[in-house]
Amino acid sequence: MIIIYLVAILLQCLNAVYLDDDDEHSARSRVSGGEDEFEPIMTLTKDKEKLVVMKNINCDDFSKYALNCTVEAALMYNSSRKSPPMPAKIGDWCKAIRYLTNCAIDWNSDCKDMTESHFNEESIRGHMHVVSNVCDDEGFLSRYDVLPVCIDAASNAWEACYSVFKTLVDDQKNTTHEWTHFETHFYMCCARAQFRRCTLDSLFDMPEICPYEQAVTLQKFSVIVSEGDVFQDCDQNVMYSNCPGGDPRPSAKSIAKLMNADAFNSVPSSSGNHVVDNCIVLLTLLCGLFI
């Protein structure tokens, strides 16, 4: 039955992409004074090992440098909450992530030959993934703009989910530098799946405050954030049934909420990106069921 669902979803995705009219999505500007608000993120070179762009940095104290980066980013966002940022604050949130990413890239570029201390490149790629799929996605940002009521209602539950997730992941990352080691990889993937289920169960349990489409958008945000923290392939060879606390993949009840046919089919053909978001969230959560 699940396979039939997946086929139906894929067909709906293809139909949505085919019907989507690019002219209906105007670019949204999040810059002031006609200049870029954020420094563009520097990318990895073709060999994906060496980093480009050199800046003069004191490479003698990695801890101090990392702390300064964190403090500056915190001042940019100016919030101690770990819940999703309000739409009015998403620009500051993105600015902080961009700053942290550039900080890490700058250090790895300038100091790679002077010290063994470095920022993990998997972490850098995770941050870049978040920037690309949230901050640089105008279509997603336009849908995120309508979420303040939903975010406000879900913030405490979402933050509780994320705090547990972040603690579990950081414990693994602080244990070893080899984040792709099979045991570390397993526990981080378990934590990522657990977080997604936690937010899924919370967001789809308040339909009066978070309508279906808004819950899907916020769940997509949750998925992207979790991929930023655990930027690994967790869809292959992960024995989720052996995860601590039991299988963290979505329950039949959760899947039933996602398969809300009335809400799903009510999306007009001009809202192709909405349907694509639904497909991404559904397929991301369901693909683990076949492992």
The DSSP result for 191-209, as a single string, is HHHHHHHHHHHHHTT-TTT
278 compared with 269, residue with greater pLDDT: 278
Tokens linked to 270: 């001009």
Does residue 46 fall inside a structural domain?
Answer: no
> Over 50: is that where the pLDDT of 17 sits?
no
Terminal Cα distance for the chain, rounded: 16
Give the angle 246-249-253 at the CA atoms, nearest 5°.
105
Cα separation, 226 vs 193, whole angstroms:
9
Q: What is the pLDDT of residues 157-173, one digit of tens each?
A: 999 999 999 999 999 98
| Residues 229/264/279/269 CA torsion (nearest 10 deg) | -120
Helix (H) or strand (E) holding 22: none
> Over 70: is that where the pLDDT of 64 sits?
yes
Q: What is the pLDDT of residues 108-153, one digit of tens each?
A: 998 988 888 888 899 999 999 999 999 999 999 999 999 999 999 9
Does residue 49 fall inside a structural domain?
Answer: no
Domain range holding 66?
55-290
**What percent of the chain is modeled with pLDDT above 90?**
51
What is the total residue count of the chain?
291
Is residue 272 classed exposed, middle or buried when 0-12, 13-18 and 19+ CB atoms within 10 A define those classes? buried
Q: What is the pLDDT of residues 234-261, one digit of tens each?
A: 988 899 999 999 999 988 877 777 776 3
**What percent of the chain is modeled with pLDDT above 70?**
69
The CA radius of gyration of the chain, in Å to the nearest whole number, is 20
Does residue 164 fall inside a structural domain?
Answer: yes
**CA 291 and chain centroid, separation:** 22
Cα separation, 7 vs 14, whole angstroms:
11
**CA 24 and chain centroid, separation:** 26
| Number of domains the chain contains | 1
pLDDT, mean over the chain: 77
> Over 50: is that where the pLDDT of 217 sits?
yes
What's the pLDDT at 258?
72
Is residue 262 classed exposed, middle or buried when 0-12, 13-18 and 19+ CB atoms within 10 A define those classes? exposed
Does residue 183 fall inside a structural domain?
Answer: yes
Q: What is the pLDDT of residues 36-59, one digit of tens each?
A: 344 445 544 434 444 444 567 889
> Over 90: is that where the pLDDT of 12 sits?
no
Does residue 23 fall inside a structural domain?
Answer: no
> Over 70: is that where the pLDDT of 24 sits?
no
C-beta of residue 166 within 8 angstroms of C-beta of residue 132: no
Cα separation, 46 vs 43, whole angstroms:
9
Does residue 269 fall inside a structural domain?
Answer: yes
